[in-house]
């Protein structure tokens, strides 16, 4: 819990570090949710509030599950829960958005998942994860009532799912008066979110929990380490939603998991050559275990080994097994098994192992350079690195789509110093580094060319409907990480 000496506006200012006008609208939102809680769940006395932000990843895409760093920032779009602890183990949720509605389940272990795609699964993932880790005793777990308000566009690469997981975990821990170290919790929740079926990395939960206002967060993994990097005032990061939904249901989930598996195959193939050539036993479980620095090798030598071990062409499972001197069954079992025990189906065109490897190692280097460029205030370099990252995501990782391409190109035409897709890809948002002085002009021009132009003219693709342009194109403010407060600290 945060300290008691500040009034609601000071606490909110500490979270959002924004102008007074924005502060009053944040305050109005908290007060509205509080009133809605009291109407929906009358008779509950002691309330607390949890908040967990979404994030925009500035650079470092699909590097996290490979053990390489990322550079996101938490944004002023978030989940706010008004909560009261219960005396039994029921968790009762009411979402402000009527499309999501009401859900109830018991906080007993294991927590049975709802049908795929249901929003309650993210709350269940958190409760299940906390119980599984033994942080709360399933026999005496207290449930909670929650009124849930969210402002993060969903299926848009801004990590609404992880923000929901983080807020739910904080709510459950508060209900059970349990404190957990933030880094421990971030690690635990990264694993816990796999409950929903994708093999994601740890970026989203970490930034949602550990972010600092006004700063981006460089995150390194295994073990989790963070370094806050101040953002230069001359640039503002503007998010633009392509209006193409990228939900982690069937197709996108397969595409995401396929890339995780391709990276595992890259690890096995490269490790095989490293062991053969150097005689060193190498227990590599992810690509970062095979970096030039960790192996104490010149990057050129490592690249030669990667070309020998992986080769540049797509590979069938049979070819991979042959290279590794193993059976297809063993390779499949050890590398292609998903968390739920199913095997990822071999793509008909083969696994594009080299391209995935090439993206990951070059992207990792770009993260290092971008963190330094931010520190040095070298905004031109930041833009260039973002543009290179986008090209690599498109060409090597193949996670772009025509709409993201159109949006990136329009943004660059209108002066973005750097423009790239952000998050898992396949749709969702772009992030754009824009000179702070020209943000309004940039927003106007992109609105005219993309939202009022391209989206209207382009037929045959289903674009998301929106009510307010400010929800699809907006400058981001770097906010603080998630928190929990007694209600009276935030409600005047
Ligand atoms: P989003 O954009 O929230 O779907 C996913 C993963 C991240 C990371 C990015 C790609 C989850 C919860 N998040 O993010 O860990 O791998 O893709 O950089 O799976």
Question: How many Cβ atoms are within 10 Å of 112's Cβ, its own excluded?
Answer: 9
- Report all structural domains of the chain as residue ranges with CATH numbers, in order of start: 6-231+478-490 (3.30.230.10), 252-351 (1.20.1440.340)
In this predicted structure, the answer to whether residue 250 has a pLDDT above a threshold of 80 is: no
Q: Which atom of ligand 1 is nearest to the CA of 428?
A: 2
242 neighbors 401 (Cβ within 8 angstroms): yes
82 neighbors 46 (Cβ within 8 angstroms): no
For residue range 115-165, list pLDDT tens digits in order.
Answer: 988 999 999 999 999 999 999 999 999 999 999 999 999 889 999 999 999
Give the pLDDT mean for 95-117.
Answer: 94
Pick from 155-159, 285-289, 370-374, 378-382: least confident: 155-159
How much of the chain exceeds pLDDT 90, in percent?
88
Peptide bond into 110 cis (omega under 30): yes
Q: What is the pLDDT of residue 5?
A: 61
Let me know if 76 is a catalytic residue. Answer: no
Tell me if 159 CB under 6 Å of ligand 1.
yes
In this predicted structure, the answer to whether residue 385 has a pLDDT above a threshold of 80 is: yes
How much of the chain exceeds pLDDT 70, in percent?
98
For residue range 28-72, list pLDDT tens digits in order.
Answer: 999 999 999 999 998 887 799 999 999 999 999 999 999 999 999
Count of H helices and E strands in the chain? 17, 12
Q: Which residues touch 295 (CB under 8 Å, ≥6 apart)?
A: 274, 278, 280, 282, 302
Sheet holding 473-475, edge to edge: 418-421, 429-435, 235-241, 473-475
Q: Which atom of ligand 1 is nearest to the CA of 203?
A: 15
Tell me if 489 CB under 6 Å of ligand 1.
no
In this predicted structure, the answer to whether residue 442 has a pLDDT above a threshold of 90 is: yes
Pick from 197-206, 268-277, 471-480: least confident: 197-206
Kindly state the tokens that stand for 285.
Answer: 């479980």
What is the rounded average pLDDT for all residues in the chain?
95
Q: What is the pLDDT of residue 1?
A: 45
Give the length of the chain: 492
Kindly state the tokens that stand for 47.
Answer: 């309330």
Q: Which residues touch 264 (CB under 8 Å, ≥6 apart)?
A: 286, 335, 336
Pairing of the two strands 71-85 and 473-475: unpaired
Q: Supply the residue whose CA is at minimum distance from atom 17 of ligand 1.
A: 424
Q: How far is the CA of 158 from the centre of ligand 1 (A)?
A: 9
Q: Supply the residue whose CA is at minimum distance from atom 19 of ligand 1.
A: 200
Q: Which of 70, 160, 203, 425 to mutate to test the pocket of ligand 1 (most atoms within 8 A of CB)?
A: 203
Question: How many Cβ atoms are within 10 Å of 380's Cβ, its own excluded?
Answer: 11
Question: How many Cβ atoms are within 10 Å of 7's Cβ, its own excluded?
Answer: 11
Instruction: Decide: helix, strand or coil at residue 360.
Output: helix
In this predicted structure, the answer to whether residue 3 has a pLDDT above a threshold of 70 is: no
Which residue among the candidates 64, 76, 187, 204 is catalytic per the annotation? 204
Torsion of CA 61, 65, 67, 69, to 10 degrees: 30
Task: Report the predicted TM-score, pTM, of the whole model to 2 decimal places.
Answer: 0.95
Question: How many Cβ atoms are within 10 Å of 33's Cβ, its own excluded?
Answer: 20
Tell me if 359 CB under 6 Å of ligand 1.
no
Tell me if 204 CB under 6 Å of ligand 1.
yes
156 neighbors 421 (Cβ within 8 angstroms): no
């Amino acid at each position: 819990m945060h300290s008691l000496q500040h009034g609601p506006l000071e606490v909110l200012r500490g979270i959002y570090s924004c102008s007074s006008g924005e502060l009053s609208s944040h305050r109005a939102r908290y007060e509205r949710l509080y009133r809605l809680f009291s109407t929906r769940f009358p008779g509950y006395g002691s309330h607390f509030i949890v908040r967990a932000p979404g994030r925009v990843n500035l650079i470092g895409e699909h590097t996290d599950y490979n053990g390489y760093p990322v550079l996101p920032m938490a944004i002023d779009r978030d989940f706010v829960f008004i909560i009261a602890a219960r005396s039994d183990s029921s968790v009762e949720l009411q979402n402000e958005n009527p499309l999501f509605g009401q859900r109830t389940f018991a906080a007993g272990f294991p927590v049975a998942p709802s049908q795929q795609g249901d929003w309650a699964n993210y709350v269940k993932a958190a409760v299940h994860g906390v119980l599984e880790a033994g942080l709360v005793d399933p026999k005496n777990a207290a449930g909670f009532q929650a009124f849930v308000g969210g402002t993060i566009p969903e299926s848009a690469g801004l990590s609404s799912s992880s923000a929901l997981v983080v807020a739910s975990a904080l709510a459950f821990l508060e209900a059970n008066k349990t404190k957990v170290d933030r880094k421990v919790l971030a690690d635990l929740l990264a694993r816990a979110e796999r409950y929903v079926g994708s093999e994601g990395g740890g970026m989203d939960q970490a930034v949602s929990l550990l972010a600092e206002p006004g700063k981006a967060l460089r995150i390194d993994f295994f073990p989790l380490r963070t370094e806050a990097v101040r953002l230069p005032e001359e640039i503002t990061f503007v998010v633009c939603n392509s209006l193409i939904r990228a939900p982690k249901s069937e197709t996108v989930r397969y595409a995401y998991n396929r890339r995780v598996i391709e990276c595992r195959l890259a690890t096995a193939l490269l490790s095989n050559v490293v062991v053969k050539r150097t005689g060193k036993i190498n227990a590599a479980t992810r690509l970062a275990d095979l970096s030039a620095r960790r192996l104490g090798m010149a990057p050129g030598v490592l690249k030669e080994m990667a070309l020998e071990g992986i080769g540049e062409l797509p590979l069938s499972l049979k070819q991979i097994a042959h290279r590794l001197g193993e059976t297809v069954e063993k390779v499949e079992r050890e590398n292609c098994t998903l968390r739920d025990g199913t095997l990822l189906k071999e793509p008909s065109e083969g696994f594009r192992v080299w391209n995935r490897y090439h993206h990951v190692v070059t992207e990792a280097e770009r993260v290092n350079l971008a963190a330094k460029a931010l520190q040095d205030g070298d905004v031109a370099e930041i833009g260039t690195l973002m543009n290179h990252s986008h090209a690599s995501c498109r060409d090597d990782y193949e996670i772009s789509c025509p709409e993201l391409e159109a949006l990136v190109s329009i943004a660059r035409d209108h002066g973005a110093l750097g423009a790239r897709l952000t998050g898992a890809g396949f749709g969702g948002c772009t992030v754009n580094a824009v000179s702070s002085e020209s943000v309004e002009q940039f927003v106007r021009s992109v609105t005219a060319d993309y939202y009022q132009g391209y989206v209207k003219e382009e037929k045959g693709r289903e674009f998301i409907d929106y009510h307010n342009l400010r929800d699809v194109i907006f400058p981001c403010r770097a906010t603080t990480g998630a928190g929990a407060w007694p209600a009276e600290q935030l409600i005047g």
